[in-house]
Structure 1
Amino acid sequence: MLFQIKSYLKFLWNSKNEHGVHSPFVFSLLTKCFYDKKSKPEYAILKNYRKSLLKNKNFIEVTDFGAGSKVFKSNKRQIAKIAKTAGISEKRAELLFRVTNYFEPKNILEIGTSLGLATSALALGNPRAKVITLEGCPETANQCQLQLQKFNFNNVNSIVTEFEKYFQDIQLRLKTETENFDLIYFDGNHSKKATLAYFELLLPTIDNDTVWIFDDIHWSLEMEEAWKIIKNHPKVKVTIDTFQWGFVFFRYEQEKEHFIIRA
């Protein structure tokens, strides 16, 4: 916790808003998407999806393949408490919806479904998109699938799998066919080793307009180190650090630029 407080204070000191940004691409993203304060009808659906989970007092046995939980001491967890403490916040879900709506990605990959709070925002952001969401825990994935069906999210394909195995299967398919993701939301394993492994395995799926979003880039010193390596990768052109999330863009025509933005 002390590490995150220090990181956040450092972030506040270095961050800026749209008035300190000279990139037309980033300025447009901030003013038309990040800082869009208008109410959206989809927000009510996201809120109801969340409320439904918060009312669910059932327990499930969670299989945790990631860096572990800072909240839960046991793998037997109540669905309502998972939604309250481990899921994306209401504010972040609305931002994820706006980002998806702004870029209109056709093929979306989410790494780490949990109970689908972020999944619902991705699916609503572009109802015409094909959303693939990956979850390692069968019981969690089952609860999410029931929830997605309840709210008629028909553009989501939920897959129970080990993440790295799925990415290696993509590598095999790429030998004979093209496979691109327009937006990837990384929220499955908050360790440096796994984050960098996923980054490298998925690089063959990018194109010029691909958007990657990494969750919890300041979760630990390891995650900050991973974020620094990602920023410096030669294929990465523009990054935006919003403290909670790190946005990565591969726009070949742009000069390399890094932004620290209050969002």
Structure 2
Amino acid sequence: MRWWSYIRFWISAHNHHGVHSPFVYRLITEGLYPKLDFKGSASDLLFLKTIRYFHPAIQNTQALPERLKQETQKLSNDKTEHSTWQLWYWRQPQSHLPSWEAHSKKDTILYVHAPYASKTTEQVWKDLKLQQQVRITVDFYYGVLVFFRDDQEKQHFRIRPRNKSPKDFALFPVPTDS
């Protein structure tokens, strides 16, 4: 269990009041904090709330676990075809670091599943943040949203899960691939 990495994360993270970017503040308060009727991991819930907020075209549905494919279809609607957003799901951050140059346009979102699950995945996540085309990251510990918005300065936000504290770690474990 990577409880120490969670404690380190918690100490440096903020809630939505500590966010000074209007884009990220709206994402958190209007998109990610409102409840969604779904029983699953916190990582899966974050991914689905991102879909609900942006209505993106999901680019790599073959990478999605079956339960997310079903929920994604439920959330998809007419708004998706009119959206300019694209969403990529990266479930295996321990694998090689992909080159995002081909996909890194303004309306692209990369969702990184479980970036702190192991030391290896944490290092891959740190390397991804350093890539020049990565402009904004919103880190929730159990999942990260990466934006390639070239019109914004490079910023990294660590956001505490709503209504959680370090003592709740047993209820809020690091996601696994099972």
Task: Report the TM-score range of the alignment, normalised by the length of the smaller protein.
Answer: 0.7 to 0.9
Residue 106 of structure 1, CA deviation: 2.6
Q: What corresponds to 1:143 in structure 2?
A: none
1:1-263 correspondence to structure 2 within 5 Å: 1=1, 4-37=2-35, 43=37, 46=38, 89=41, 91-110=42-61, 112-114=63-65, 116-128=66-78, 129=80, 182-187=86-91, 189-191=92-94, 194-196=95-97, 199-200=98-99, 202-263=100-161
TM-score (structure 1 length as normaliser): 0.55
Contact 2:47–2:111 (Cα < 8 Å) also in 1: no
TM-score (structure 2 length as normaliser): 0.78
SS at match of 1:31: helix
Residue 32 of structure 1, CA deviation: 0.2
Residue 122 of structure 1, CA deviation: 2.5
Residue 181 of structure 1, CA deviation: 7.5
Contact 2:93–2:112 (Cα < 8 Å) also in 1: no
Q: How many residues align?
A: 158
Contact 1:215–1:246 (Cα < 8 Å) also in 2: yes
CA deviations 1:37-63 (Å, max 9, x no partner) are 3xx5xx3xx55xxxxxxxxxxxxxxxx
Contact 2:55–2:85 (Cα < 8 Å) also in 1: no
CA distance in 2, matches of 1:229, 1:93: 23
CA distance in 1, matches of 2:159, 2:96: 22
Q: CA RMSD in A?
A: 2.3
CA distance in 2, matches of 1:101, 1:261: 19
Matched letter for residue 68 of structure 2: A
- Residues 195/244 of structure 1: CA separation in 2 closer, same or farther (3 Å cut): farther
Contact 1:181–1:206 (Cα < 8 Å) also in 2: no
CA distance in 2, matches of 1:235, 1:190: 18
CA distance in 2, matches of 1:111, 1:9: 33
CA distance in 2, matches of 1:258, 1:207: 18
Contact 1:94–1:121 (Cα < 8 Å) also in 2: no
- Residues 125/207 of structure 1: CA separation in 2 closer, same or farther (3 Å cut): farther
CA deviations 1:238-259 (Å, max 9, x no partner) are 0011101121000010000001
Matched letter for residue 119 of structure 1: K
Q: Larger % of helix: which?
A: 1
Contact 2:31–2:49 (Cα < 8 Å) also in 1: yes
CA deviations 1:8-40 (Å, max 9, x no partner) are 010111111110010001000011011113xx5
Unaligned runs of 5+ in 2: 162-178
CA distance in 1, matches of 2:126, 2:18: 22
Comparing both chains, which one has the higher relative contact order based on Cα–Cα distances under 8 Å and sequence gaps of 6 or more?
2
